[in-house]
Amino acid sequence: MALVVHVVGARPNFVKIAPVVRALAARGVAQRLVHTGQHYDAAMSDVFFADLSLPAPDVHLGVGSGSPIEQTARIMVALERAFGELPRPDWVLVPGDVSSTVAAALVAAKLGLRVAHLEAGLRSFERSMPEEQNRVVTDHLAALLLTPSPDADANLAREGIPPGRVARVGNTMIDSLLSALPAASARRTAARLGLAPGAYAVVTLHRPSNVDDRDTFARLLGALADLARELPVVFPLHPRTRARLDGGLARAAAPLRLVEPLGYLDFLSLTASARLVLTDSGGLQEETTVLGVPCLTLRERTERPITVDEGTNQVVGTDPARILTAAARALDAPPQGRCPALWDGRAAERVAQCLVARS
């Protein structure tokens, strides 16, 4: 019988992997779940396992915080030991583009284990971006590249990846969204925060390029404060972002509704009934596309262009005037998006079929 080892470490990983775990279990495939501990506090990890009905990890490496280099190195050392104690898997499945992803791909490849990359082929074409580095390295080490969209297939072809290693399966993050939406809607998170559905904006920021650079962060907060004069702006704070909010930056953020990080169901509930979302997250660009909520991406480029071509997303960068102009336009005339092909809630079934067929 096939054995699949999943390696996860950050909350986007949990959302992407949960439906795959269920789809493989339905086929009787043996699985082990390894949590690196890259995201480790309750708000960033435990609540996601509960909301997504993920089983407790079989192995928890507990690497904790640190720079991307420190985290990657610690994960690699701990994973080598863990793989030595686990049964030899048919596949090591790594989702996304975080430090845990590339660390697991490197260790598995060096141990002669086959790597399957879930969400392969995405490119922002910004090689200085840590996530882009992780994506490129992981894709070129993987034996099986599970892509979400046609642009990802094209990127891999340009990089010389043989087509026999590529399978377009769709987006498992959307599987989780569609499955959880009824329970999330019942949470009525907006009402609990005193907000009227369709009458507020949601913002998330966590990228180092946005929050570690004080001038950039100050500009973004200024634009968000101006937007808050038009409608309430709710800002769930990533721990990295909260750590940067000191002194003048904290005062600049005063017009915003700052809240603690939300669990998966509560955040989905909040996003689904928002009038506008502003973010530097990749996954949120995808989720808003399916939810039909206008999204402004506060970066210069996106690795998810399908959300612009077919969805409700617009890439606006970090210039306040450009952000506010785009926000006014989106509030006035919301874009009409459509759901991309294979973002249908059955991507995990296609992933499971690929892994079993190639075991």
Q: Hey, CA dihedral for 314, 156, 11, 346, is it positive or negative?
A: positive
pTM over cut 0.85: yes
Domain count, the chain: 2
Do 112 and 203 fall within a single domain? no
pLDDT digits (tens, 9 = 90+) for 46-85: 888 999 999 999 999 988 878 889 989 999 999 999 999 9
pLDDT digits (tens, 9 = 90+) for 110-156: 999 999 999 999 999 999 999 999 999 999 999 999 999 999 999 99
- For residue 247, what pLDDT is reported? 77
Q: Percentage of the chain with pLDDT > 90?
A: 88
Q: For residue 244, give the CATH number of its domain.
A: 3.40.50.2000
The torsion angles phi and psi of 59, rounded to 5 degrees, stand at -135, 130
User: Please, are residues 202 and 270 in contact by the beta-carbon 8 Å criterion?
Assistant: yes
Cα–Cα distance between 149 and 67 in angstroms, integer?
A: 31
Phi/psi zone of residue 326: left (φ > 0), alpha (ψ -120 to 50 degrees), beta? Answer: alpha
What six digits make up the tokens of 282?
């990749």
In sequence order, which residues have a C-beta less than 8 Å from that of residue 355 and are 6 or more positions away? 2, 4, 24, 29, 90, 91, 93, 116, 144
Do 212 and 64 fall within a single domain? no
User: Please, are residues 316 and 266 in contact by the beta-carbon 8 Å criterion?
Assistant: no
Do 186 and 311 fall within a single domain? yes
Residue 337 lies in a domain: no
Q: What is the DSSP string of 60-78?
A: E----S--HHHHHHHHHHH
pLDDT greater than 80 at residue 103: yes
Identified catalytic residue from 35, 140, 206, 238: 206
User: Please, are residues 171 and 344 in contact by the beta-carbon 8 Å criterion?
Assistant: no
Residue 338 lies in a domain: no
Do 35 and 104 fall within a single domain? yes
User: Please, are residues 53 and 20 in contact by the beta-carbon 8 Å criterion?
Assistant: no
Structure-model confidence comparison of residues 71 and 105, the more confident one = 105
- For residue 40, what pLDDT is reported? 59
| Annotation marks residue 206 as catalytic | yes
What six digits make up the tokens of 334?
């919301």
